[in-house]
Chains A and B, each alone.
Chain A
Amino acid sequence: MWHFIILVGILFCAYQAVRDKRLLVSAIWLAGTSALVAIMMYLIGAYQIAVIELSVGAGLVTVLFVFAINIAGDEPIPNLSFIPKWLARIFTVMAILLIGWQLLPLLDFPINLNQDAGFQQLVWENRKADLYLQVVMIFAGVISMLRLLTDEYQTRILHKEVQE
């Protein structure tokens, strides 16, 4: 019963995030989607990832979105897409059918709630390359964040100094 309620919540929040015209409200709906996905992960036994998703997906990313929207502003953009909406719907339905066809065999495998104790060993020892890659990505994110925080005035001063 709880799974079904959360499923409906996830799909409703995701649809509202796409449909709402105000970007700020859209970001809040996205946070709701993240929180419900985290609960779904918790219910299927992925406790550690559920906590990480809740803190990063519903927390950090939402703060970043709200911050960026406040800086960039919520400008009204005409509701015209590059491709006709009926064509977008056809593409979406085709993609859903394709994904569904690929995922259908997984229905034969019930979810196993048993935990193996190897998560930390797998992350810290067996997948070191991924770990280093994540460190590099986090540095890239920090540099981008600094760029995001640099305002236009400082950018102009920097450009003047470079030109001189």
Chain B
Amino acid sequence: MNISTSMIVLIAVIGLFGVGLYCLLITRNLIRLLVGLQIMVKGAMLVLVFVGQSQGQPSLGQSMALTVIVADTIVAVVGLALAVQVKRNVGTLDIADISKLKR
């Protein structure tokens, strides 16, 4: 392993974060928002593992990544359940239409 591997992992982290953020900014579909969020979290997980490995504390990085995996999965489950209920009750997944409910 050398410096180029570190650079490749960091490019992956930055790329995942950028793609996820762009998805969150431009999409209006509730389920696709969750897809963007998942992509961003994968970048966060990768950087946690990478920092643990590079700083000589792999167990700490991996245990934190484990917590992030559990939290991310639960966020996906709760978000998808909300999306299904919104679709049943409102009839759409468009967040522009859902936000009109507050008026």
A contact set with B: CB distance below 8 Å: 3-4, 6-7, 10-11, 14-15, 17-18, 23, 26-27, 30, 33-34, 37, 40-41, 43-46, 48-49, 52-53, 56-57, 60-61, 64-65, 67-69, 71-73, 75, 77-78, 80-83, 85, 88-89, 91-93, 95-96, 99-100, 103, 106-107, 109-116, 118-119, 121-123, 127, 130, 133-134, 137-138, 140-141, 144-145, 147-148, 152
Question: Is A112 in contact with B54, judged by CB distance below 8 angstroms?
Answer: yes
Q: List 24 A-B pairs, Cβ < 8 Å.
A: A14-B19, A17-B19, A18-B32, A23-B29, A23-B31, A26-B32, A34-B42, A37-B12, A44-B9, A45-B53, A46-B65, A49-B65, A52-B66, A61-B73, A64-B76, A68-B81, A72-B87, A81-B26, A88-B25, A92-B21, A116-B57, A119-B59, A127-B63, A137-B71
- Give the docked Cα–Cα distance between A80 and B94 (Å): 11
Residue of A nearest to B87 (CB): A72
Partner of A137, one of B1, B4, B74: B74
Complex contacts, B45 vs chain A, CB 8 Å: 37, 41, 49, 53
Beyond A68-B84, A81-B25, whether A56 also contacts B31 by CB under 8 A is: no
Interface residues of B in 27-80 (CB under 8 A from A): 27-29, 31-32, 34-36, 38-39, 42, 45-47, 49-63, 65-67, 69-74, 76-78, 80
Partner of A130, one of B20, B67, B85: B67
Q: Which of B17, B22, B69, B93 has its CB near the most chain A CB atoms (within 10 A)?
A: B22
Question: Is A141 in contact with B46, judged by CB distance below 8 angstroms?
Answer: no
- Give the docked Cα–Cα distance between A91 and B20 (Å): 12
Describe B's contact surface by its main secondary structure: helix
Question: Is B42 in contact with A11, judged by CB distance below 8 angstroms?
Answer: no
Residue of B nearest to A14 (CB): B19
Interface size for B (C-beta < 8 A) is 77
Question: Is A123 in contact with B3, judged by CB distance below 8 angstroms?
Answer: no
Q: Which of A17, A34, A67, A72 has its CB near the most chain B CB atoms (within 10 A)?
A: A72
B contact set with A: CB distance below 8 Å: 1-23, 25-29, 31-32, 34-36, 38-39, 42, 45-47, 49-63, 65-67, 69-74, 76-78, 80-81, 83-85, 87-88, 92-94, 96
